[in-house]
Amino acid sequence: MGYQYEVGDIVTLKKQHPCGSKEWEILRVGADFRLKCMGCDHQIMIARKLVEKNTKGLSKKGKEAESV
């Protein structure tokens, strides 16, 4: 469990949102995260430990093009 969460990353959670999407964009990190649903733009505040517990995958937005 060594995910490095950063603003702009896309986190995939185990539970899916009612809209059907499991992917959330990270808008803020800290003790609580602010996440935006990629499916319906709904925003939530969620405790970091819940994010860590439910993370299935993490896409590093800043490194998808080319890493130096």
Note the residues at the interface with Zn ion (CB under 5 A).
17, 19, 21, 37, 39-40, 42
Nearer of residues 13 and 37 to Zn ion, judged by Cβ: 37
Buried b (16+ CB within 10 A) or exposed e, 16-35: ebeeeebbbbbeebeeebbb
Nearer of residues 50 and 63 to Zn ion, judged by Cβ: 50
Composition of the chain by helix, strand, coil, percent to 5: 15, 40, 45
- Give min distance, CB of 56 to Zn ion, in A: 16
- Give min distance, CB of 28 to Zn ion, in A: 18
